[in-house]
Structure 1
Amino acid sequence: MTDDAGSLTPRQLRAWMAFLSAGHLVDHEIERQLKRDGGLSHPEFEVLVKLRVAEGHRLRMSDLARQAMISKSRLTYQITQLERAGLVKRTGCESDRRSVWAELTPEGAAALDRVRPGHRRVVRESLIEVLTPEEIDLLGDALTRVADRLRER
């Protein structure tokens, strides 16, 4: 006897496969644009954006890892690459000697300024313009619920 408790219905499987396909294809388009316009990877771009919106354009590495939803070791790699490119600098934390700040440099801000117009264009062309306003709302609500559930774990 087979245990089908974990099986997906055809409808559910179609939604899952469409989610995977669309996610990979949109990510690929974004990655290509970021590389072409600024020599950045998608994770590097996300780190720079998190720093850009942070107070003082800096975050503790542990907070940045949480916000960027990547492991500390992966973040260390990303920050090392960004630091070599002069887009980020690391400094010690005065109030907690165990902590390290990651800070956006003026060059990092300029790199973001270079890639953002193309990034917005790709997001619009790949996702936003394909959907109706109602579908955008539905997608936003649904994926927010998914993210909230996973964050609770």
Structure 2
Amino acid sequence: MDWTALLDIAPYDWEAIGTALFCGTLVGLERQMRGKPVGIRTSSLITLGTYLFLVGASSITTEATDPSRIIGQVITGIGFLGAGVMLARDGIVVGVTSAATIWVLASVGVAIGLGHLDVAMKLSVVVVGVLFGVDIVEDYFQSLTRGVHRKYKGWKRSMRNEKQG
């Protein structure tokens, strides 16, 4: 059996696929460990899917095609996915950070699709740093938790009331 032909996935690259899965897992692990939407599976699939769309589009070369337009279409499509994780509960919008995380995961996938694997891994670490680090800073400085940055904790009460009522 010819393993080289069996493992050939051109125009895609196994190293880039591994990087996409690593980056998505890194960010998704932080979200999942904190009980947030957009965990490991979703994050990994977003980075992988974005990479696959970008490279797949880049492999189509005709006079009428413009693979760079795929990036714009990915941004639009990811916007719809992000909108799906945002909810309004008792007048407060929740899930905005998860939506922004989805958006940045797609941009990491674009970086991978453009061949910038090292940059994508570094940016994933930056994303985890922002997600985790800002919470630490907010816990330390109570003034940052007022207004739009206030954490909504009433959803648990609302959910219990709905189940009982």
TM-score for both structures, normalised by structure 2? 0.27
Higher strand share: 1
TM-score for both structures, normalised by structure 1? 0.29
